[in-house]
Amino acid sequence: SVRKMAEQYDTYRSPLVSRYASKEMSFNFSDRKKFSCWRKLWVILAKAEQKLGLEISDEQIKEMESKVDLTEKDFKIAAEEEKIRRHDVMSHVHAFSVCCPRAAPIIHLGATSCFVGDNADLIVMKDGLGILITKLARCVDRLSKFAQEYADLPTLGFTHFQPAQLTTVGKRACLWLQDIFTDLKNLERLKSELRFRGIKGASGTQASFLSLFDGDHSKVDELDKLVTQMAGFGSSYIITGQTYPRKVDNEILSSLASFGASLHKICTDIRLLAHMKEIEEPFEKNQIGSSAMAYKRNPMRSERCCSLSRHLVALSINPLQTTSVQWFERTLDDSANRRISIPEAFLTADVVLNTFQNIVEGLVVYPKVIERHIQHELPFMATENILMEMVKQGGDRQKIHEEIRVLSQQAASVVKNEGKDNDLIQRIKNSNFFTPIHSSLDKILDSKMFIGRSAQQVERFIKLEVEPYMSRYHLDLGGSADLNV
């Protein structure tokens, strides 16, 4: 409607949702998913309580099951009730009771707000980790293929962003790959170890449930176990306060931040390589790099990854601070913060992953530019090899060293003071002193002679570590990543 369109442009909307994030991650943190999850948890609780002997009828459960999906009317009733009660859970208990009048007396029986609030958060985070893990696996797969394709293509290495010994394009990609491969395993571990809060009552003592079952501790334990299993978790926390341990949020957001740091480093490297014209991210036919400078091809995808990765890293401080101020069994100053920081962390990671997959699937390598940069520096790097070869031909090491030193300084002066290419090799070719190795200079200067075991390291790393682990994802690796904007 016209009114809804006006609201769309007249109110702030998070760019993470309106501009960048995927539909699946946006839905995962939507109100519909959250409140439907609450209703499913109430159904699960009722089923488990019925199974253990409480007076809950099949009709009541069927009525609840038929109303798990919220209507627009349900949302409206809950919103109106929350204005009066200032309590989100009780407003939804009321809305659920309105559409389930027979089940109303047993909805939320024995539970506290955190039964639905915290348990639903754990479900949503577990599902969110699943989405991220699949996307991160695709990035690992694409980067592995890129590394293998360029495993033996020599390129200038850098330490301190100063020219260093040669490496290969694939070996450098493996540095990136190793980082995100570590992130993948971290997220997978977190997902597999994530526990349910279960049924713990108002302050974690399970007193309300012990009362419901007339002091039968075994039934309370069984109820906790049943609810946990029915919600899709392998185990629940034995010890909680009113909430699940907020350190769980620390671990998850810290791991997402660690992934953000990995991506920031990788995409910074790509931006620097784009500056040197050695590697470029995808650039579409009609894409505009600058409104003023028509020739520009800005690495906007990598810049976006860096920009959002910084936000992801910054978000990790929120759960640390929240954990530190959870007085005794809990305080409510975690709630508003978690509503923002947790969804934003997942949404941000999702955007970064979508963007990075798109980058890796379209990376363009320019071997001629890379070779030209190598030739600027290789003559100096080759001096030791030249010296060794001259010694093999019977030369005096000290005299050879002095000849190379003099010619190197002359060549360096040409590069720095005259802005010309490095002409050291031509000087060596013109020198009678180096006549014994003139015929073997081309072999000595083959850039592949300077890459060490780079190609072999790429092959070993991918074959021994990455591929065996990635076999579990073979059904999830299809599809390409497109950007919304």
Element (H, E) at 279: strand 279-280
Residues 6+ apart with CB under 8 A from 281: 270, 274, 299, 301, 302, 359, 362, 363, 364
Active-site choice (18, 57, 211, 290): 290
Pick the closest to residue 210 from 197, 224, 196 (CA basis).
224
Give the dihedral sign, CA 369/373/379/381: negative
CA distance 478 to 100: 43
3-state secondary structure of 337: helix
Burial of 245 (0-12, 13-18, 19+ CB in 10 A): middle
**Is residue 290 among the annotated active site residues?**
yes
CA-CA distances (angstroms) from residue 61 to 47, 100, 139, 158, 248? 7, 9, 44, 66, 32
Active-site residue identified among 160, 218, 275, 471: 160
Contact in structure between 274 and 362 (CB atoms under 8 Å): no
Cα atoms in the Cβ-side hemisphere of radius 13 Å centred on 344: 21
Residue with tokens 């798109």: 358
The amino acid at 449: M
**Is position 264 annotated as part of the catalytic site?**
no
Active site residues: 160, 290
